[in-house]
Chain A
Amino acid sequence: MTAAAGAPTRPEPPFVTRVVTTSRVRHYVSRVLAVIGLALVVVLFGLPLAWLVTAPFDSTPSLAVQWPDWTLSNFSAIAENRYALGSFANSAIIGIGTCVVVIVLGALAAYALSRVRIPGRDGLLYALLLLSSIVTGTAAMVPTFQLVNSLGLIDTHLAVVLVVSGGTLPTVIFILKDFMDSIPKSYEESARLYGAKPWQILRDVVVPIARPGLAFVAVWTLVQVWGNFLVPYLLLRTTAKQPAAVLMYTFYTESGQADLRLLSAFSLVFSIPIIAMYFLVNRRYGFRFHGGIKN
């Protein structure tokens, strides 16, 4: 939204009456435009999601969004699949594990970086942020695999948690640090007067205030992990340990044709927990993201 880079602000000449009428018309027009705009937003965002709501309940789903002839048989097809239910559990383990690691380590680090001037801290943070783009790419798969292998962690959920955490921590610290920078320091000062230790201050003062930020980071991390295919696929050997994101890619025939009944129902079940988590977190803690790079 580049403003018309016009002249610097000048006081408006007082054509009072005209200002009033034009502003009223303008106000009305802008209202109508806003409604139209928001309606378009609803269509843009809602349209692709419609298939996710109709197809799973259709006995013969196609790629088209159509009024389903209601059935729940597609969901029983999931239950019949040998690995489907277990894969959701695996996704949950990996997702929650990563969230816990990232939030605990991220909050500790972000708080320290926010409150203590460590030389070169911003540079370090940006460097890590950039490096994370390499490591989440495909070229780093071989080093990552070899590393996990030599640590003896192949075929463990822990390996997936650690690798994904390593890739997402820089961003998490970046976001949380911004959030903590905005927390008034007077609270901590008064807590210190009462003799609280730093970790107590973090636990009892900072974390409660930072909850919306932590909630945001938790959901963001979960979104990153939930759909990740390559990392769990390469690091896990046992089929029964694979998360849902990997299993989803097996619902295709040799020629790559999707089993729409299974896929649609699976997609819905696969998406619900993460949408539910967002609502839960939003209701309980609010969902705020505070971010402004300071100088």
Chain B
Amino acid sequence: MSSAAAPATGSTPPRRGQRRRRSAEDVAGLGRTGAGVFVAPALALIGLFLVFPAIWTIYLGMTDYRLTGFAAVDPEFVGLDNYARILGDPTFWRSLRLTLVFVLVSGIIGQSLLGFAVAWALRRITGWAKTLIETLVLAAWVVPASVASFLWIALLDRREGTLNEILGTTGMAWLIEYPMASIIVFNIWVGTAFSMLLFSSALAAVPPSQLESARMAGATGWQQLRDVVIPNIRGHILTNTLLITLWTFNTFTPYLVTAGGPNGESEIIAVYIYNTAIPGGQLGVGAAISLIMLLINLVVALGYLRVGRARGARPAEASAAEASAAEAGPTEKAP
């Protein structure tokens, strides 16, 4: 395969050359001060409404704070007791295990793969079929969470649900018998649009000349994908995987479908935090779990970035095996 594609616009510096010039030279003439002025309003807002409450929450995680009862008036500082309790609680570990399955299957495999597959399949289709599919996938994404969850509750209902009607499985309580599968499919339904959009943008940016020469050489679709497309969109794959992982890890929407039930069988971590903090009233413990969740997210993100960096530093002739490792690697590291 040819390396260093002829850039589509003559001006873009090659994205992965060893001779990368300083990527951020100051073409706009902003200067440090100007940049500071541009960044300041956003940082001020983030500082006040994101960092400040987040740090406060981390502090709460070290108290026995509750919203009601004696602990509300006079919360005690308990240091790391909450963490000891959480780590000794089998419910937490179950929740973490469910979350990892949920992230892996619904986020990384489901949303990313399906999103890519749809984008790949649609790249050469035009007309009504393309419009229909894009519209449906996007509609699922933009429908508000409260509506989306209700649509699935209706679809999977035991008595009147459309799915039982179609499959002839009368009386099947999907949300009870297969709660995890239900929220995984639900989450794929909700979130695939993002990956689809990202990958269709990415595929549009793959230099046609490279694909053309691969075709001339008699490469199958699969080989084109492996040798031309994936090396070209590695950055996109990494971005997508990172964002999808973070979002899936923190999503609360499945609560609206199964409420974490039955008996906690679909209690992913965001739901576990909610159940601890609001119905259970233990805000301190809930805050502590939030921090644990953040640390796990941090490890995962660093893992991805390491993979991205390590690969980006290599010459462009990365082999297909490594290209695939970009996706498989982090998922193996995540737990």
User: Taking the complex as formed, is B87 at the interface, i.e. its CB lies under 8 A from any CB of chain A?
Assistant: no
B320 x A144 contact (CB < 8 A): no
B50, B143, B252: the one contacting A131 at CB < 8 Å is B50
The stretch that binds A, out of B27-35, B97-105, B172-180, is B27-35
- Indicate if the CB atoms of B189 and A140 lie closer than 8 Å: no
Chain A residues whose C-beta falls within 8 Å of the C-beta of B226 in the assembled complex: 3, 9
Interface set, chain B 197-221, CB cutoff 8 A to A: 197-198, 201-202, 204-205, 217-218, 220-221
Q: Which of chain B's residues 126-157 have a Cβ closer than 8 Å to chain A?
A: 129, 132-133, 136-148, 150-155, 157
Contact with A along B149-173 (1 / 0, CB 8 A): 0111111010111110100000000
Q: With a CB–CB cut-off of 8 A, which chain B residues contact A130? A: 246, 294, 297-298, 301
Contact across chains for B54 and A116 when beta carbons are under 8 A apart = no
0/1 interface trace, chain A 14-52, chain B, CB 8 Å (1 if under): 000001000100100010001001100110111111111
Q: State whether the Cβ of B293 lies closer than 8 Å to any Cβ in chain A.
A: yes
Q: B144 touches which one: A162, A189, A271 (CB < 8 A)?
A: A271
Say which residue of A55, A106, A291 sits within 8 Å of B198 (CB atoms): A291
- Inter-chain contacts of A109 with B (CB < 8 A): 38-39, 41-43
* Size bracket of the A interface: 35 or more
Q: Known contacts A47-B162, A226-B144, A295-B308; is A111 also within 8 Å of B46 by CB?
A: no
- Would you call A133 and B246 a contact (CB within 8 A)? yes
Given A23-B220, A64-B162, check contact A136 B250 (CB 8 Å).
yes
Is A42's CB under 8 angstroms from B136's CB?
Answer: yes
Given contacts A116-B24, A140-B290, A171-B243, contact A45 B162 (CB under 8 A): no
- Cα(A125)–Cα(B42), bound, Å: 12
Known A50-B162, A249-B146; contact A287-B197, beta-carbon cutoff 8 A: yes
CA distance A258 to B149 in the complex (A): 13
Contact A140 B38, beta carbon cutoff 8 Å: no
A105 to B151, CA, bound (A): 35
Which of A70-78, A79-87, A180-188 forms contacts with chain B?
A180-188
Q: Which residues of B contact A23 (CB under 8 A)?
A: 218, 220
A19, A113, A249: which has the most chain B beta carbons within 10 Å? A113
Query: Cα distance A167–B48 when bound, in Å?
Result: 11
Give Cα distance in the complex from A290 to B227, angstroms: 21
Contact B283 A142 (CB under 8 A): yes
Given known pairs A2-B327, A293-B242, the reply for A271 and B147 (CB within 8 Å) is yes
- 6 more A-B residue pairs beyond the given contacts A65-B154, A130-B294, A290-B201, with a C-beta to C-beta distance below 8 A: A1-B116, A1-B327, A2-B327, A9-B227, A138-B278, A198-B30
* Complex interface: chain B residues within 8 A of A100 (CB): none
Instruction: Evaluate contact between A48 and B236: CB separation under 8 angstroms.
Output: no
Instruction: Find out whether the CB atom of B11 lies under 8 angstroms from the CB atom of A185.
Output: yes
| 25 contacts across the A-B interface (CB closer than 8 A) | A6-B320, A19-B218, A23-B218, A49-B139, A63-B159, A111-B28, A116-B28, A116-B34, A126-B305, A133-B290, A134-B291, A139-B277, A139-B289, A142-B67, A165-B49, A192-B28, A198-B34, A201-B29, A219-B142, A223-B144, A287-B197, A290-B205, A293-B238, A294-B23, A294-B235
Question: Given the complex, which residues of A lie within 8 Å of B321, measured CB to CB?
Answer: 3, 5-6, 8
Q: Which of B57, B185, B243 meets A134, CB within 8 Å?
A: B57
A93 within 8 A of partner (CB): no
A89 at the interface (CB under 8 A from B): no
Check if B142 sits within 8 Å of A167, measured CB to CB.
no
Query: Is A126 touching B301 in the complex (CB atoms < 8 A)?
Result: yes
| Interface membership of B184, Cβ < 8 A | no
Contacts of B51 in A (CB 8 A): 128, 131
A267 in contact with B147 (CB, 8 Å): yes
B42 touches A169 (CB 8 A): yes
- Interface positions of A (Cβ within 8 A of B): 1-3, 5-6, 8-9, 12, 19, 23, 26, 30, 34, 37-38, 41-42, 44-52, 55, 62-65, 101, 105-106, 108-109, 111-118, 126, 128-144, 147, 162-163, 165-167, 169-171, 173-174, 178, 181-182, 184-186, 188-189, 192, 198, 201-202, 216, 219-220, 222-223, 226-227, 229, 245, 248-249, 258, 263, 267, 270-271, 274-275, 278, 287-295
List, in ascending order, chain A residues with CB within 8 A of B290's CB.
133-134, 137, 139-140
* A51-B154, A198-B29 as given contacts; A115 in contact with B142, CB under 8 Å: no
B227 pairs with A169, CB closer than 8 A: no
CA–CA, A79 to B52, complex, Å?
A: 41
Residues of B within 8 A of A (CB): 1, 9, 11-12, 15, 22-32, 34-36, 38-39, 41-43, 45-46, 48-54, 56-58, 60-61, 65, 67, 113-114, 116-118, 121, 129, 132-133, 136-148, 150-155, 157, 159-163, 165, 185, 189, 192, 194, 197-198, 201-202, 204-205, 217-218, 220-221, 223, 225-227, 230, 233-236, 238-240, 242-243, 246, 249-250, 252, 270, 273-274, 277-278, 283, 286-287, 289-291, 293-294, 297-298, 301, 305, 308-309, 312-313, 319-321, 323-325, 327-328
Least Cβ–Cβ distance between B171 and chain A, in angstroms: 14
Choose among A106, A133, A136 the residue with the greatest number of B CB atoms under 10 Å from its CB.
Answer: A133
For B308, list chain A residues within 8 Å (CB): 293, 295
A242 CB, nearest partner CB in chain B, Å: 13
List of 7 A-B pairs having minimum Cβ-Cβ separation, nearest first: A292-B235, A166-B49, A227-B144, A295-B312, A112-B38, A143-B56, A109-B42
- A169 and B45 contact, Cβ closer than 8 Å, known pairs A23-B220, A116-B26: yes
- The reply to whether A2 and B328 contact each other, CB–CB distance below 8 Å, is yes
Interface pair A64/B42, CB less than 8 Å apart: no
Contacts of A278 in B (CB 8 A): 138, 142
Contacts of A295 in B (CB 8 A): 308-309, 312-313
A45 touches B137 (CB 8 A): yes
Given contacts A116-B32, A192-B29, A295-B309, contact A133 B294 (CB under 8 A): yes
